[in-house]
Structure 1
Amino acid sequence: MNKLLILLLLLSTSLHAQSLEALVEEVRANNPALKALESEYLAARERAPQVSQLPDPELGLGGFPLPVETRLGPQVLRVSATQMLPWFGTLSQKEKLEITKAKAAYERIGAEALNLLFELRQAYLQLYEIQHSQTIIQENLQLLDALEQLALAKVESGRATLADVLRVQLKKEELLQQLALLAEAEVPPTVTINQLRQRELQAPLSLNDSLVFTALPFQQDTLEAYLRQYHPQLRMLQQQQEVSRQMIALNDLNTRPSFGVGVDYIMVNERTDMMVPSNGRDILMLRATIKVPLFREQYRAREREEQFRILGLSQQEDNALSRMLAMVEQAYSNHRAAMLQKDFLEKQISLTQTTLQILQDQYSAQGGDFAELLRLEQDLIRYRLQWLKASVQTHLAKSKIEQFVAIK
């Protein structure tokens, strides 16, 4: 009955089997945090066309309740138009500033994507280890079932005691308790993965990958230069520094005069009390204005503000790079430690399986130390779980490095 239940469970979960690559694509396509950042980037791109245009012209209309008398007649209506003109290059500098801001917003998308994908891979590897640990324990339970049947046969033949059967049953209860705990441990990584891909939080996941020990396809001594050039978080900080430099350039242009040109049209009625040459001729007046920024302290303060911001962002960049390199070094160390266990554990598993077979044959033929047989059975499951954990550790170390090594 238990075997049938396990088989049905495996068949049902296989319908939901997911590979890591498929989950990554789902997160890229569906994660709301990435969509929100992309919307912010698209909004930032629309700023450049807004600031690169001339200011709107000003139109004016005025009347004269008390007409101003002139030699040619009374003034009755004034129509005016004014266009302000910033200093040469100011509009293009404003556009360049907004484009740089949009580039910083774009790099933020890449930085968030790397963090989310690492969170996904971490949860995936955790779930992978849990599910394959369950498989190892279930296989061990089948071996214990066989040992229990063997012990019962020995008891019936009078060549063993009931204690051997009870020892097997105790070990089986321990493993069943481990399976129950592992089933509960599946919940946190499953919820994390489903939340990242915007699915039902409790939707079951069965992973169809088969992971073995993996190598690190990265040259550690070249990572620092690579990170500075390609990592989106560092590129974002670099773009933010460039934003401040563009702000300084714009601030310098704002200290220059700006100009205005305009035209006034004044309607004049004809005089009725006398006739003069050009009687009632309208007036057309051309105007030019200049705005001179005399009070310079605000501009000097703005420049100092941006210089301090550049310094702070540069320090953030150095700190972020230092933190990344420290985490990369830890990942390499964890990978080396896991690889050191590989040959040892594989050798132990092979020797233990051989010894177990010998002792089981010996016990079946003439009896023997059943406690030693059970101890070796527990050693075998421990070695297999350690091998699984070490192999997963190599993939986790690789994922940690991939969190910082952005794809070009």
Structure 2
Amino acid sequence: MRKIIVLLILLSLSILLPHHSFSFVDSNEEIFKEEALAIEKKFSKTLFLSDLLKYAYVSNPSITASKESWKIFIENYRIGKSYPDPQLMATYFPSPIETRLGPQDWNITLSQAIPFPGKLTRQGKILEADTKISKLKLDKTIKNIVTSISASFYELIYIQKAVNIALANFNLNQELIKISETAYVQDKALFYDISKARAQTAQIRYDILLLKELEQAEKARINTLLNRAPDAVLGKASDLVLRDVAYGLNEIYALCMIHQEDVLIAKETVQKFDEAVKLSGYESLPSFKLGLFYASIGDPDVPTPPKDAGDDAIGVQLGLSLPLWFGKNKSQISKATASKRKAKADQLVIANQIKEKISRLWFKLQNSKRLVTLYEKELIPQSMRSVQTAETWFRHGDGSFADLLEIQATAYNFQLSLARAKADYGKTLVQLEQLAGVVLDKQIKDKQIKDKKIKKNKGDRDS
């Protein structure tokens, strides 16, 4: 009975050792998948950017890989925060060792290594920082995919608009060819004018062919980002309204320091190595080992056995490591300190690089906005009026057909340039939002709230 009780105690010790749990649950995953299947059915008709982004969140393999990587680090946290596995050792003696109380048939030892108090906590904080970094990398991957899909969507809008513009101008040039042929018969135009009109029409026909091939290439890119077959059917992209930016350049600089993933990863890395420096201090401290020993003693083969003959032996073990190699321990601390200094320097480098990219994108955004205004408000209205004037003059014999062709070609190029400028504006804005870490077209009320938060964070940093 006594042996059974001891074995139960040993088993209980192994079960009741402390452990930590950290589970990952994404309750919305199945909902997103069902919604994605419904969204895909609409792709053959009209494309909406919001539908593409929802579908990509579920289907894009890069996002899936980042999610699984995050889960890996979550499990690493659970593993790293736990005590080492206990050791159970049993010894059987074919020729029992004879003792005063009787022969020792077998013994069993259960031991548990215990780190110095506080070491597992520090190690857990490092692993927790790794988990946070992995989550930030997941957010970064999602934003990268959002940026790529959005940029392709804006490019697809441009291409489809350009095709429509080219088709309209192709039909117009067909009419101009007929006008030039009639004018040539009436000696109002030269044969050169007819040749020029035909050449211009052929160029537009080539533009249409090129644009349609570009459309297929852009759709293939979108399909691959959605993890679909490159030639899967995609319909016409719905037009997007140009969004105005509600923040200034300096405000965007401040926003990126608070919300941008690369900046946050660098900041979390500094904190991780700060904990690593503290953890390295434990290298000079001992770790402990606790154990429970049980030996089975048989009946002694003696004429007059002692009163406690045959009683089993129970013992408690205590051990500790001896951190005598001070040079190695000192190097561990120096290594962790150098890693922390490097992480701080990398944090500054990343912040400066992002601000430099924001500056370039801001210029590109403002330039695209100026071009949109220029073409919409001035150049295109002027060119269309010039086309009407040139056509009127030509019909009344006051202008040449060559002038009409030239002005018509200019109006065509202006229309394409406007579509190009709008696409560039949209693509640049989503790239800028990725670097800022937030959507930049919020209402003024939201902007004022952001201003207060930015000023508060700036004041905290100054303090």
TM-score by length of 2: 0.78
Q: Which residue of 2 aligns with 1:8?
A: none
Distance in 1 of aligned mates of 2:43 and 2:92: 84
TM-aligned CA deviation for residue 159 of structure 1: 4.8
Check whether the contact 2:156–2:237 (CA below 8 A) recurs between aligned residues: no
Deviates more, 1:25-34 or 1:163-172: 163-172
Q: 1:286 to 1:73 in 2, by over 3 A?
A: same
The structure 1 residue matched to 2:269, chosen from 240, 245, 250, is: 240
How do 1:124-135 residues align onto structure 2 when only pairs under 5 Å count?
A: 124-135=153-164
TM-aligned CA deviation for residue 172 of structure 1: 0.6
The structure 2 residue matched to 1:335, chosen from 358, 365, 372, is: 365
Cα distance per residue 1:344-380 (max 9 Å; x no partner): 3332222222222233233334474111111110111
RMSD: 2.6
Check whether the contact 1:213–1:392 (CA below 8 A) recurs between aligned residues: no
Distance in 2 of aligned mates of 1:309 and 1:191: 44
TM-aligned CA deviation for residue 310 of structure 1: 2.1
Cα distance per residue 1:46-72 (max 9 Å; x no partner): 122223333332222223344433333
Check whether the contact 2:157–2:237 (CA below 8 A) recurs between aligned residues: no
Distance in 2 of aligned mates of 1:48 and 1:375: 70
TM-aligned CA deviation for residue 300 of structure 1: 2.1
Higher relative contact order (CA 8 A, sep 6+): 1
Q: 1:343 to 1:75 in 2, by over 3 A?
A: closer
Q: Which residue of 1 aligns with 2:317?
A: 287
Distance in 1 of aligned mates of 2:298 and 2:233: 88
Distance in 2 of aligned mates of 1:88 and 1:264: 24
TM-score by length of 1: 0.88
TM-aligned CA deviation for residue 206 of structure 1: 4.2
Q: Secondary structure at the match of 1:404?
A: helix
Letter in 1 for 2:316: L
Distance in 1 of aligned mates of 2:168 and 2:317: 94
Check whether the contact 1:77–1:267 (CA below 8 A) recurs between aligned residues: yes
Q: 1:300 to 1:192 in 2, by over 3 A?
A: farther
Q: Which residue of 2 aligns with 1:311?
A: 341
Distance in 1 of aligned mates of 2:322 and 2:280: 14
How do 1:208-223 residues align onto structure 2 when only pairs under 5 Å count?
A: 208-211=237-240, 213-223=242-252
The structure 2 residue matched to 1:169, chosen from 184, 187, 198, is: 198
Q: Which residue of 1 aligns with 2:221?
A: 192
Check whether the contact 1:214–1:394 (CA below 8 A) recurs between aligned residues: no
Q: 1:163 to 1:212 in 2, by over 3 A?
A: farther
Q: Secondary structure at the match of 2:230?
A: coil
Q: Which residue of 2 aligns with 1:359?
A: 390
TM-aligned CA deviation for residue 402 of structure 1: 1.1
User: Is 1:72 aligned to residue 107 of structure 2?
Assistant: no
Cα distance per residue 1:267-301 (max 9 Å; x no partner): 32333332133333332222222222222322322
Distance in 2 of aligned mates of 1:224 and 1:355: 44
TM-aligned CA deviation for residue 394 of structure 1: 1.9
Q: 1:65 to 1:184 in 2, by over 3 A?
A: same
Distance in 2 of aligned mates of 1:164 and 1:367: 16
Deviates more, 1:288-297 or 1:161-170: 161-170
Q: Which residue of 2 aligns with 1:255?
A: 284
Q: Which residue of 2 aligns with 1:26?
A: 55
Letter in 1 for 2:402: A
TM-aligned CA deviation for residue 343 of structure 1: 4.1
Check whether the contact 2:44–2:234 (CA below 8 A) recurs between aligned residues: no
Q: 1:299 to 1:153 in 2, by over 3 A?
A: same
Q: Which residue of 2 aligns with 1:6?
A: none
Q: Which residue of 2 aligns with 1:51?
A: 80
Distance in 2 of aligned mates of 1:17 and 1:333: 33
User: Is 1:376 aligned to residue 407 of structure 2?
Assistant: yes
Q: Which residue of 2 aligns with 1:387?
A: 418
Q: 1:181 to 1:196 in 2, by over 3 A?
A: same
Check whether the contact 2:126–2:272 (CA below 8 A) recurs between aligned residues: yes
Q: Secondary structure at the match of 1:68?
A: strand
Check whether the contact 2:154–2:427 (CA below 8 A) recurs between aligned residues: yes
Q: Which residue of 2 aligns with 1:39?
A: 68
Deviates more, 1:327-336 or 1:58-67: 58-67
Check whether the contact 1:339–1:390 (CA below 8 A) recurs between aligned residues: yes
Distance in 1 of aligned mates of 2:373 and 2:82: 69
The structure 1 residue matched to 2:232, chosen from 195, 199, 203, is: 203
Check whether the contact 1:84–1:261 (CA below 8 A) recurs between aligned residues: yes
Distance in 2 of aligned mates of 1:124 and 1:54: 51
Q: Which residue of 2 aligns with 1:102?
A: 131
Distance in 1 of aligned mates of 2:413 and 2:190: 27
TM-aligned CA deviation for residue 128 of structure 1: 2.3
Distance in 1 of aligned mates of 2:293 and 2:345: 55
Structure 1 unaligned spans of 5+: 1-12
Letter in 1 for 2:100: R
Cα distance per residue 1:124-176 (max 9 Å; x no partner): 22232222112111111122222223334444556555554333222111111
